[in-house]
């Protein structure tokens, strides 16, 4: 069951506020009964919902993967006028939102959906779906420094869970190293803060995997729809890690 104005907005009838006005003015019916209260709920899968006598069509569920470029905001709008992820979704009329976040300076694999249950399953703290990044950092961390990340490191908001860390590439000329790191949490700017804690700040960060899903040949700034099998695999990964934690 969902609030009626949310169902109407999701079906593309109008903005959420305009949909509230339609309800209050008596222009919306559920199973033949006029509804005029904003707290009313309905089931978009089974209830017949009409606006001015015309039945609304349920919103199709979308599951997208975007190769997010650096310098893009992971939100619906930006008061500063910077690019947002929806700018890279031509042809998508439905309102989709990110599953978790990638900060402004981070690029790579970002999932978007309009399925709230799917998003919650993948981001809930108890599910611990692994996410893998390539972090290019200043200097070349010693093995002992990486071991701290592997065991868990103390940040201002507490200890991190153990991470999987290994060298990916070393550039002695630039005095940089690229480290592959897999984390099982979703704290704000977590990977950057972890490397700051071992005195090797990140200069470039790219997410390359979410669960077993990877970017493959998806070009930067492009998106594609997930396959049904990929959706099932992600949900299975969330269920598996949740069961392990319990």
Structural domains in the chain plus CATH codes: 2-55 (3.10.290.10), 63-125+215-245 (3.30.70.580), 131-210 (3.30.70.1560)
- The active-site residue, picked from 103, 105, 115, 196, is 103
pLDDT tens digit at each of 246 positions of the chain: 889 998 888 777 888 889 999 999 999 999 999 999 998 999 887 889 999 999 987 667 899 999 999 999 998 788 888 999 999 999 998 888 899 889 999 999 999 998 878 888 898 878 789 999 999 999 999 999 999 999 999 999 999 999 999 999 999 899 999 999 999 998 899 999 999 999 999 999 999 999 999 999 999 999 999 999 999 999 998 887 644 444
- Is 47 known to be catalytic? no
- Spatial distance between the Cα atoms of 243 and 126, rounded to a whole number of angstroms: 9
- Spatial distance between the Cα atoms of 160 and 153, rounded to a whole number of angstroms: 5
pTM, two decimals, is 0.77
- Pair of tokens at residue 216: 């493959």
Beta strands in 69-212 (DSSP E): 97-98, 106-113, 131-138, 154-155, 158-159, 164-171, 176-183, 202-210
At 76-117, the pLDDT tens digits run 788 888 999 999 999 998 888 899 889 999 999 999 998 878
């Amino acid at each position: 069951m969902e609030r009626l104005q949310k169902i109407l907005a999701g079906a593309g009838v109008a903005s959420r506020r305009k949909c509230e006005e339609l309800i209050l003015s008596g222009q919306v019916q559920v199973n033949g009964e006029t509804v005029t209260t904003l707290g009313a709920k309905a089931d978009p899968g089974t209830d017949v919902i009409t606006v001015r006598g015309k039945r609304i069509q349920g919103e199709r569920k979308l599951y997208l993967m975007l190769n997010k470029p650096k310098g893009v905001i992971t939100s619906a709008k930006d008061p500063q006028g910077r690019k947002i992820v929806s700018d890279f979704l031509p042809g998508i009329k439905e309102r989709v939102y990110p599953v978790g976040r990638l900060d402004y300076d981070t690029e790579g694999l970002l999932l978007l959906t309009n399925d709230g249950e799917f998003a919650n399953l993948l981001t809930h703290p108890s599910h611990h779906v692994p996410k893998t990044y390539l972090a290019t950092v200043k200097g070349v961390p010693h093995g002992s420094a990486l071991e701290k990340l592997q065991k868990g490191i103390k940040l201002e908001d507490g200890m991190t869970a153990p991470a999987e860390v290994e060298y990916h590439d070393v550039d002695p000329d630039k005095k940089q190293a690229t480290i592959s790191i897999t984390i099982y949490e979703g704290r704000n700017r977590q990977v950057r803060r972890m490397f700051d804690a071992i005195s090797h700040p990140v200069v470039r960060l790219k997410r390359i995997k979410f669960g077993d899903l990877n970017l493959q040949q998806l070009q930067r700034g492009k998106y594609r729809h997930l396959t049904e099998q990929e959706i099932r695999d992600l949900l299975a990964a969330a269920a598996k890690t949740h069961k392990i934690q319990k």
